[in-house]
Amino acid sequence: MDHGMRNRLGRLGRLVRKELAEILRDRRTIITLVLMPILVYPLLAVAFQQYFSSLSPLKSPIYVLGFASQIDKDLFVRQLQLGDKILMRQDPQATPVMSSVTWPDKFDKNLKKMIEDGEIDVGIRLEKGGRFKGSKDDMFVFEAIFKKDSSSANTLLQFVERRLAATNGSFLRARLGIPGLPPARYVLLRRSGFTVPAAKQVSLAALVPLILILMTITGAVYPAIDLTAGERERGTLEILVAAPVPRLGLLFAKYVSVLTVAILTALINLLTMLITLWLSGLGAALFSGSDISLLVILQLLMLLLLFAAFFSAVLLAITSFARSFKEAQAYLIPLMLLSLAPGVLAMMPELSLEGTLSVAPLVNIVLLSRDLFEGNARWPIAVIVIASTLLYALAAIATAARIFGAEAVLYSEQSAWSDLFRRPEEERPIPAVASALLCLALIFPIWFVCRGLLAQLGGMSALSLLGLMTGIGFLLFAGFPLLSAWLGHIRLRTGLQLQAVPIVAFAGALLLGISLWPVLVQLLALVLPEPDLSTETLKQLLNAMRQARADYPLAVALAFVVQALAEELFFRGYLFSALRGKCGPAVTIIVSALLFGFFHVIAMPGPFALHRLLSSTFLGLVLGWIAWHTGSVFPGMIMHAAHNAMLVLIGQGETAVETLPWSWVGAGLAGTAAGAVLLFGWGAKTENTHPVAAG
């Protein structure tokens, strides 16, 4: 590291320490950071204890018996009352009084329905053929119908069976050695329990992550306002701008300060919540009779840190527009109110974390936290939640950087939200990394939601569905970078790497596209386990893809080619150009390849997730090397399109995991080597220079 770089990093570090020291010395920060959790969580514990105590019965319950007919009732109740008198004579203190059991004068053959409607606890009816007449005595067999999971029904049955046993026992003892007694009636009871699907109840466990998230937001609000609008109001922001630190460095220092306070708030709140749950004994009541495991605590902490990174950037972007402390508060009040909505959604028992909700900001974090507490979290959905939140955080940081770089914002001039979309007067050679990341963050949720909606459409032909998916993909991956380049006044030739290259570069790229796929497929088949294809949904998806390829092979290949061209325009055009202006070859190629691989995981989740991640990332590395070496997006388009077309036409478009003949692999290795030699030896222009983004 040279001396100049060390000086710049040293100045940036001192600026970060200064911002942190100022914000942590403020008593309002300390109150939000320490005192609020100490006061809030004991009060919440008291409220929860009051709620749970209100659920406990304040008086002895009344148990209700139901009968199928008047005859059944008269016979059964007579035996029941007789047994109660016998028990009362034996031990009047230990026997519950008969007044806790009642039987209404309503009879219905459908006793099960009466139980489900909550009219009775146990239904009694004489079994068909349940009367057995002996020489003198009679025996009756009754059926007791009840819900197996009903505690009141089980208590009532124990109550009834004890009295029937007392009556039967008394008759039997009287019969022993005493002839000439009048006929007796014995009543036997056979249990016939049934189960009903339990109704989903409101999840109180969802309140815990919501409270933690809201407290984290509260902790970050004041630092964000004070470090932006507060400094503008005090007139100190202009002094900071005059310091020998880049504006993005100033933004970074402020972001680190806000993020640090948000993380500290999350840690203190989580610790205080755990102590409160432990001391109050509410953990078992909130989390289905078990304490929170250490793994769940660590997972929740990671989610809180992720959310803090996202929301700190959002707060910084919004408060940068305000010219005063009060104006910033007015901006944030609607945001705080809007943040309450996910908590209400998360408490709805029928709401599950899937589809659009997995990419909905804040909602996905709360729902994932709820699922972690309840033990229902699924790792593919968790990956989507984490990745989408990271992308939103990047988008928020990019927006904050764009706002913070505006002269009107820095120098307290009149500004408006339209300043975000105002085109610069001077043309720029390449886009900023922030603009490229903002595009990426916008493309991801729209692409995910559109694919989900198309999957739900019924009655469409495979060809129509394929055309819609291709059109949406092209609009997103090509339309967003073109629109962003126009808004940023970016020169298209350099900003999207639309540079001319020697014809031999196209030949080498085409050869790579035709030859690389068998090598890649064989590597995946050797190193990865066979995916589980047993799920019905996955079988239907694969069958639909095979049928579409069999019916419309050229249309499917064309769709994959168009998608490849659009993806290259963004990943190796707009995004690659922005990264290349700031980073070296290794960082640019690896970062763009990883982002490329992640997007293809979203396209094929489930058992193929790891296969798609590795294959697409490897392909992204090759495409990145081509883009860096040639300085153009065109050879990568040729290579990517040829690769996709070959996979579809040969029949590897569904899974890309089958083992291939080694002769194919050998031919693929030879063609790949030849294509690489052509590209490396003669594929690049004589002067392959790339503009550098302005700091």
- Of the candidates 260, 100, 76, 51, which has an alpha carbon nearest to the alpha carbon of residue 185? 76
Q: Whole-angstrom Cα distance, residue 363 to residue 347?
A: 11
- Of the candidates 83, 135, 143, which has an alpha carbon nearest to the alpha carbon of residue 112? 143
- Mean pLDDT score, 328-336: 77
CA max distance for the chain? 124
* Coil/strand/helix, residue 190: strand
Q: What is the rounded average pLDDT for all residues in the chain?
A: 75
Q: Whole-angstrom Cα distance, residue 202 to residue 204?
A: 6
Amino acid type, 557: A
Query: Are 557 and 689 a contacting pair, CB within 8 Å?
Result: no
Q: Whole-angstrom Cα distance, residue 263 to residue 260?
A: 5
Taking the CA atoms of residue 63, residue 67, residue 72 and residue 76 in that order, the dihedral angle to the nearest 10 degrees is -10
Overall pTM surpassing 0.85 (yes/no): no
- First and final C-alpha spacing in the chain: 19
Strand partners, 188: 141
Query: Are 200 and 350 a contacting pair, CB within 8 Å?
Result: yes
- Of the candidates 218, 208, 221, which has an alpha carbon nearest to the alpha carbon of residue 41? 208
Burial-class residue 346 by CB neighbours within 10 Å (0-12, 13-18, 19+): buried
Phi, psi of 127 (to 5 degrees): -65, 150
Looking at residue 652, its pLDDT comes to 47
Sign of torsion over alpha carbons 98, 101, 102, 108: negative
pLDDT digits (tens, 9 = 90+) for 129-162: 777 776 567 788 899 999 887 878 888 888 888 8
Given a cut of 50, whether residue 114 has pLDDT beyond it is: yes
Question: How many CB atoms neighbour CB 364 within 10 A?
Answer: 26
Beta strands (DSSP E) in 113-201 are 122-133, 138-147, 185-194
Looking at residue 626, its pLDDT comes to 92
Amino acid type, 137: D
Given a cut of 70, whether residue 543 has pLDDT beyond it is: no
Looking at residue 538, its pLDDT comes to 44
Looking at residue 695, its pLDDT comes to 41
pLDDT digits (tens, 9 = 90+) for 250-305: 777 788 888 888 888 878 777 877 777 776 666 555 555 455 667 777 877 887 78
Looking at residue 576, its pLDDT comes to 92
pLDDT digits (tens, 9 = 90+) for 483-524: 888 888 888 888 899 888 888 888 898 999 888 878 887 777
pLDDT over 70 percentage in the chain: 67
Looking at residue 58, its pLDDT comes to 44
Tokens standing for residue 155: 């208590």
Beta strands (DSSP E) in 432-541 are none
- Of the candidates 220, 395, 425, which has an alpha carbon nearest to the alpha carbon of residue 319? 220
Q: Return the higher-pLDDT residue of 95 and 566.
A: 566
Q: Which of 10-19, 25-34, 247-256, 574-583 has the highest mean pLDDT?
A: 574-583
Q: Whole-angstrom Cα distance, residue 189 to residue 191?
A: 6
* Coil/strand/helix, residue 457: coil
Phi, psi of 248 (to 5 degrees): -65, -30
Query: Are 634 and 508 a contacting pair, CB within 8 Å?
Result: no
- Mean pLDDT score, 111-125: 88
What is the arrangement of strands in the sheet containing 138-147, beginning at the earlier edge strand? 101-102, 63-67, 122-133, 138-147, 185-194
Helix (H) or strand (E) holding 42: helix 36-55
pLDDT digits (tens, 9 = 90+) for 354-409: 767 777 777 787 788 777 777 777 777 787 788 778 878 777 777 777 666 554 44
241 Cβ contact partners less than 8 Å away, ≥ 6 residues apart: 247, 250, 410
pLDDT digits (tens, 9 = 90+) for 428-477: 888 888 788 778 877 877 877 777 677 666 566 667 777 888 888 888 88
- Cα three-residue angle 381-271-274, rounded to 5 degrees: 80
Strand partners, 67: 107, 124
Instruction: Give the CA radius of gyration of the chain.
Output: 36
- Of the candidates 190, 204, 99, which has an alpha carbon nearest to the alpha carbon of residue 139? 190
Helix (H) or strand (E) holding 478: none
Question: For the range 109-117, what are the long-range contacts, defined as Cβ-Cβ under 8 Å and sequence gap of 24 or more?
Answer: 109/68, 111/66, 111/68, 111/145, 112/145, 112/194, 114/66, 115/66, 115/145, 115/146, 115/147, 115/153, 116/147, 116/196
pLDDT digits (tens, 9 = 90+) for 215-264: 777 777 878 887 777 777 776 665 555 555 566 667 777 888 888 888 88
DSSP line for 254-268: HHHHHHHHHHHHHHH
Tokens standing for residue 430: 């390449």
Q: Return the higher-pLDDT residue of 136 and 605.
A: 136
Give the model's confidence band at 637: pLDDT under 50 very low, under 70 low, under 90 confident, else very high.
Answer: very high
Is domain 63-194 classified as CATH 3.30.870? no
Distances from the Cα of 288 to the Cα of 176, 205, 282, 292, 377, angstroms: 53, 9, 10, 10, 16
Given a cut of 70, whether residue 590 has pLDDT beyond it is: yes
Q: Whole-angstrom Cα distance, residue 251 to residue 442?
A: 22
Query: Are 255 and 397 a contacting pair, CB within 8 Å?
Result: yes
Question: How many CB atoms neighbour CB 546 within 10 A?
Answer: 13
**Among the listed ranges 125-129, 137-141, 607-611, which one has the minimum average pLDDT value?**
607-611
Looking at residue 537, its pLDDT comes to 45
- Of the candidates 554, 647, 646, which has an alpha carbon nearest to the alpha carbon of residue 604? 647
- What is the 3-state composition of the chain as percent helix, strand, coil, each rounded to the nearest 5? 70, 5, 25
Amino acid type, 662: W
Q: What are the extents of the domains in the chain?
A: 63-194, 201-422, 476-682
Question: How many CB atoms neighbour CB 218 within 10 A?
Answer: 18
Q: Whole-angstrom Cα distance, residue 496 to residue 485?
A: 8
Amino acid type, 578: A
Given a cut of 90, whether residue 323 has pLDDT beyond it is: no
